[in-house]
Each structure stands twice: as C-alpha cells, then as structure tokens.
C-alpha cells in the first residue's frame, strides 16, 4: 500500500532564518567532510592493502587461504556496520545527533590510525592478521555509526527545497574518496618497489594512505567540535505513545517496520548494482577481456570522477521530479543499461580500450549514481524520533544479501552460462530498486521536524 505524503509545513524555514543560516552551512559542510572521511576509510583495505597483504601473512600461505583471509577482512567490516548503525542510531535518536557523531568519528579515526601502526607476520606471526581483522571490525562499527548520525544531522539542517542538492553533495564524496585512494595508491606503487616481503611498499608504503585517513578523521572531529550545532529537529517536546520503546524496537516491531521493509527492498537492489559496478566490472575487464591492471585502474578512476558529477545531477533531478518517480526510473534504467553494457563488453577484446571504457562508464553511472539522493530519501522516510536508527539500519542491513554476489553469479552461470549471469543480476537489482520505490510514498516535501 502506498502511504500518503506528509505535507505539513516545517516549523521554520532554515534557508531564510538569519540566526540559523551559519549553523545550516556548517552542518552541511560537516556532513560532506565526515562522509568523505568515512568513505576514504572504507575503501582503504580494498585498494591500498591488496598489494601488501603478504605483510600480514606467511609467504607460504596458499592462494585459497589468501582468499579466505581477504574475505574475513571484508566481512568483518560488513558485519560490524549494521551493529554500529543500530547502536549509534538509537543513541542519536534519544540524546541528539552531535555527540554520537563525535564519538563515531573519533572511533573510526583511532581504528584506522592503529592499522597504520600494525606489526606484520614477521614480527608477531598470525596475530598480525587477527589484529587487522579486529581493527577492521571496530572501524566498521564506528563507520556504521558515523553515517547514521552525521547524515541525519546535516539533512535536518537543510532547507526543504535544497535537500536533494545537499544529499548529492554529501554522497558524491564516495566516488571522490574512491578515486583519491586509487590515485594515491597508484602514485605510491609507481614510486617504490612493491614486490616481495622486504619491498618498500609492503613494509611501509601502504601505511601512508591509512595515516591520511586518520588525519582526515581528526580534521573532521575538530570541525564538528568547533562549528557544528545540534539538529534543529531534535528535542521536540511532542510525546508519542511509543516513546518508551527503544528506537530500534519501534523500527522493527512497531508501526514503522513496513517502512524498513520498503527501504530494505530498494537498498538491496542498490547494493547489488553497486557490487556489479565496483567489484565485478574490474574483474571482467582483467580476467575475461585481458585488460592489464595498469589500464583498468585509470578507467575505474575516471569512472569514479564522472560519477561525482552524476551523483549531484541525480540528486538535483530527484528534487525536481520527486524521489519516488526518480527511483522508479533509476531502477528501470539500471535494469536496461547495466546488462546491455555488460553484454557489449563480452563482445570486445582487451585491445579495444575506448569501447571498453565507454561501457565501463555506462555501467558505473547506471549502477551507483542513484545514491545521489539517498541521504535525502532515507532521512525523509523516517520520523525524527527514529530517523537515525531507520537511516542507519535501512542503509546498512541491506548490504548483507548483495555481499554474496559471487555465489549468485556462480549459480546463475551454471544454469544460464557465464555471460548471462551478471546481466541477469543487474536486471534483478534494477527491478528491486524500482519495486522498492513504487511501494513507498513520495518524500520530497515531508516535514522532517516530525
């Protein structure tokens, strides 16, 4: 059932209130800076650590064991993020957004700094990989908390008519962070040796991006301390009958669980498409088409930079046409463009760089640009008293099912063939996004003070 759209006017117009104008700008800047620092930390082990994983394990480790270790490093963060979202989301919904945001930023900053100082297998044996996995779990917990608190804080300070733009400015830092880390890592790998356990990159070069990540967290923390005020929508004295329940209980067992289910459907499709564009695409170019890594990396970097613009464009478009029509259209477009581009890729060879790059750009834009309005949509979807919990859990919990995309591809390949598996998953992802949007309401003009 489609819910009616809330249209009551907000308590005051932040965009025209001189007393709150500077607070509004500061909160939005904090949201942008915090999300960039958050996303920078998320991509570090995926891009920076991959060439240096031998530092944390024995040189005699088999390829199968290496794959298991890499999976554990990834899964530790994956498991921790929904837990952090639930914990910090409830805290933010009960005590305000600002203090939990500060704790979350400090937490992931300390965890990433600690990783930069880790000893290797040569020094502490298997404790090296255990400490890495443990710190990634800890970091994931605080990362789940950061976006669950800082994003609602920024969006609640945003004027109604600019929430789409603000959402795009915040979320576009994700591909920007990805491109930044890829560039830093590429420069490091080009300027120092990286082969063998005693090489400069393996011993200390990989630590530089982690130190940068810790510095970004420190700068963000100081900015929130000195510039960002508490949300104007928090602290409303209105009492509701469910207020005695925890925000998580209200979300899961109360009247809001249909909202969580609807968001879960949409976000499951979005995360599935993200995995196809971020993880499967480079693998297809390298392993199936034979494109060298030195070419794949620049293609992915340029794609990320292109999507910085398309994130903002998608967010602005959603402000014009509405969130619901946007996501219905984005899901349908992804279900058409993404599988078509993958099918075209399979007709090319590794020497046809230009058409390969164009297909890669099309896949990246069609799979991840829809995240542009997501900060606005998810925060608009839940009332103030459970907003941080709803945003964090709805965003994070949906990561889990799509994370097993490799198994889905394997199963579909055995039935429909290798070239059909990824396009089929792309159609499923797009259909889930469109369906999730269709069964939900329009949120663009919702009063976020309630």
Please give the class, per CATH, of domain 246-450: mainly alpha
Give the model's confidence band at 228: pLDDT under 50 very low, under 70 low, under 90 confident, else very high. very high
What span, in angstroms and rounded, lies between the C-alpha atoms of 129 and 137?
Answer: 12
> Residue 358: what pLDDT?
97
Least confident of 11-25, 156-170, 251-265, 292-306: 11-25
Long-range pairs for 96-99: beta carbons < 8 A, 24 or more residues apart:
96/230, 96/231, 96/234, 96/235, 97/149, 97/150, 97/152, 97/153, 97/156, 97/230, 97/231, 97/234, 97/388, 98/153, 98/224, 98/228, 98/229, 98/230, 98/231
CB 405, CB 280: distance < 8 Å: yes
3-state helix/strand/coil string of 170-203: HHCHHHHHHHHHHHHHHHHHHHCCCCCCCCHHHH
Q: Closest Cα to residue 54, out of 169, 185, 194, 254?
A: 194
The residue behind tokens 């900015």 is 223
Maximum distance among all Cα pairs of the chain, rounded to whole angstroms: 65
> Residue 11: what pLDDT?
44
What span, in angstroms and rounded, lies between the C-alpha atoms of 212 and 44?
Answer: 10
Tens of pLDDT, residue by residue over 263-287, are: 999 999 999 999 999 889 988 998 8
What span, in angstroms and rounded, lies between the C-alpha atoms of 391 and 148?
Answer: 6
Please give the class, per CATH, of domain 17-230: mainly alpha
DSSP-assigned letters across all residues of 118-164: ---HHHHTTHHHHHHHHHHHHHHHHHHHHHHHHHHHHHHTS-GGGHH
pTM of the predicted model, to two decimals?
Answer: 0.89
Could you check whether 17-230 and 246-450 share the same CATH topology? yes
> Residue 152: what pLDDT?
94
To the nearest 10 degrees (0 to 180), the angle between helices 374-381 and 387-397 is 130
> Residue 243: what pLDDT?
53
> Residue 18: what pLDDT?
52
Least confident of 72-76, 180-184, 294-298: 72-76
**What is the mean pLDDT of the segment spanning 235-243?**
46
Q: How far does CA 261 lie from the centroid of its chain?
A: 19
Percent of the chain's residues with pLDDT above 70: 93
CB 269, CB 436: distance < 8 Å: yes
pLDDT of 46 strictly over 80: no
CB 169, CB 32: distance < 8 Å: yes
> Residue 208: what pLDDT?
96
pLDDT of 450 strictly over 90: no
Neighbours of 48 (CB within 10 A): 24
- The region, left, alpha or beta by phi > 0 then psi within -120 to 50, assigned to residue 240 is beta
Percent of the chain's residues with pLDDT above 90: 66
What span, in angstroms and rounded, lies between the C-alpha atoms of 69 and 312?
Answer: 36
CB 163, CB 233: distance < 8 Å: no
Tens of pLDDT, residue by residue over 158-207, are: 999 999 999 999 999 999 999 999 899 989 999 999 888 999 999 999 99
Least confident of 9-13, 264-268, 440-444: 9-13
pLDDT of 221 strictly over 90: yes
CB 299, CB 354: distance < 8 Å: no
Q: What is the DSSP letter of 50?
A: G
**What is the mean pLDDT of the segment spanning 116-122?**
93
Give the model's confidence band at 44: pLDDT under 50 very low, under 70 low, under 90 confident, else very high. confident
**What is the mean pLDDT of the segment spanning 80-109?**
94
Domain boundaries along the sequence of the chain: 17-230, 246-450
CB 118, CB 128: distance < 8 Å: yes
Give the model's confidence band at 438: pLDDT under 50 very low, under 70 low, under 90 confident, else very high. very high
Give the model's confidence band at 244: pLDDT under 50 very low, under 70 low, under 90 confident, else very high. low
Helix ranges (H only) for 228-292 are: 247-253, 257-275, 281-283
CB 167, CB 32: distance < 8 Å: no
CB 68, CB 367: distance < 8 Å: no
In degrees, rounded to 5, the angle at the alpha carbon of residue 73 between the alpha carbons of residues 67 and 77 is 140
pLDDT of 19 strictly over 60: no
pLDDT of 237 strictly over 80: no
Q: Would you state the structure tokens that stand for residue 207, as one six-digit string?
A: 């630590």
What's the whole-number average pLDDT of the chain? 89
User: Regarding predicted confidence, which is higher, 39 or 14?
Assistant: 39
**What is the mean pLDDT of the segment spanning 34-52?**
87
CB 174, CB 292: distance < 8 Å: no
Grouping H, G, I as helix, E, B as strand and the rest as coil, residue 277 is helix
**What is the mean pLDDT of the segment spanning 249-257?**
85
């Amino acid at each position: 059932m489609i819910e009616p759209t809330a249209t009551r006017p907000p308590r005051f117009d932040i965009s025209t209130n001189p007393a709150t104008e500077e607070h509004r700008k500061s909160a939005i800047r904090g949201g942008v800076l915090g999300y960039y620092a958050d996303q920078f930390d998320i991509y570090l082990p995926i891009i920076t650590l991959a060439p240096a994983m031998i530092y944390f394990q024995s040189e005699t480790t088999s390829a199968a064991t290496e794959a298991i270790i890499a999976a554990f490093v990834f899964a530790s963060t994956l498991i921790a993020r929904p837990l952090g979202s639930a914990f910090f989301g409830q805290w933010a919904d009960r005590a305000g957004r600002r203090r939990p945001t500060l704790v979350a930023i400090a937490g992931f900053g300390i965890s990433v700094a600690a990783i930069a100082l880790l000893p290797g297998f040569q020094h502490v044996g298997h404790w090296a990989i255990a400490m890495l996995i443990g710190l990634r779990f800890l970091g994931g917990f605080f990362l789940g908390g950061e976006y669950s608190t800082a994003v609602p804080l920024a969006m609640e300070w945003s004027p109604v008519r600019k929430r789409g733009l603000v959402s795009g400015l915040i979320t576009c830092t994700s591909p920007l962070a990805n491109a930044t880390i890829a560039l830093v890592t590429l420069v490091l790998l080009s300027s120092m040796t990286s082969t063998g356990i005693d090489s400069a990159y393996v011993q200390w070069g990989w630590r530089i991006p982690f130190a940068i990540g810790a510095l970004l967290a420190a700068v963000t923390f100081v900015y929130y301390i000195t510039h960002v005020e508490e949300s104007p929508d928090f602290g409303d004295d209105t009492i509701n009958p469910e207020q005695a329940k925890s925000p998580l209980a209200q979300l899961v067992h109360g009247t809001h669980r249909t909202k969580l289910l609807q968001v879960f459907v949409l976000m499951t499709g979005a995360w599935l498409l993200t995995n196809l564009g971020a993880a499967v695409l480079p693998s297809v170019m390298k392993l199936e088409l034979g494109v060298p890594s030195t070419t794949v990396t620049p293609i992915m970097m340029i794609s990320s930079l292109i999507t910085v613009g398309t994130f903002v464009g998608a967010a602005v478009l959603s402000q014009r046409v509405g969130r619901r029509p946007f996501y219905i259209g984005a899901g349908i477009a992804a279900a058409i463009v993404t599988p078509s581009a993958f099918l075209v890729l399979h007709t090319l060879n590794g020497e046809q760089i230009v058409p390969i790059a164009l297909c890669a750009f099309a896949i990246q834009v069609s799979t991840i640009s829809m995240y542009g309005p997501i900060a606005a949509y998810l925060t608009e979807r839940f009332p103030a008293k459970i907003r941080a919990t709803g945003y964090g859990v709805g965003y994070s919990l949906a990561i889990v099912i799509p994370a097993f995309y490799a198994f889905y591809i394997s199963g579909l390949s055995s039935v429909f063939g290798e070239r059909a598996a990824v396009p089929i998953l792309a159609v499923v992802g797009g259909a889930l996004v469109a369906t999730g949007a269709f069964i939900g309401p329009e949120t663009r003009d919702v009063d976020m003070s309630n």
